[in-house]
Amino acid sequence: MKIFVIFGFFMTLLFIIINPTHLNAQLNTTSPTELRAFEVKQKLQSLMPLIKVEYQSESTIVLKGEENILLSINGTTAPFWEAIDFMKHYGYSLVDVTTSGLGSQGNPTRFYAIMTK
């Protein structure tokens, strides 16, 4: 009887080692509209390099756009608002938009979008 139990254990273990696809399906539970926290920054910056992720946790993200860079390269602040819309697609909601800086060369205006899930 012990031989059958040991044999069954090793066969199960061998099946898991040879065919781990069912484990990947169980571990990768994110849907297309969900991203893991570390993937958000990569995806956003690959699509919108003018927008930076200033802070990130599992439920909160802060996006940063510098007005002088946005205006000089793009002529508008639209990429900042597009980044906010992009994050809404992944389940984030806009909590607040704030600015810092004086709009001068030494202290340019920066926009921050605070978003939560």
Q: Which amino acid is at 85?
A: D
Cβ-contact 44, 61 below 8 angstroms: no
- What does pLDDT average to in each consecutive run of 10 residues of the chain (117 residues)? 51 46 42 61 85 91 93 90 92 95 88 95
pTM assigned to the model: 0.67
The region, left, alpha or beta by phi > 0 then psi within -120 to 50, assigned to residue 19 is beta
Q: Which amino acid is at 64?
A: K
How confident is the model at residue 87, as a pLDDT?
92
Beta-carbon neighbour count of residue 91 at 10 Å? 14
How confident is the model at residue 34, as a pLDDT?
57
How confident is the model at residue 105, as a pLDDT?
82
Query: Is the domain defined by 31-116 classed in CATH 3.30.110?
Result: yes
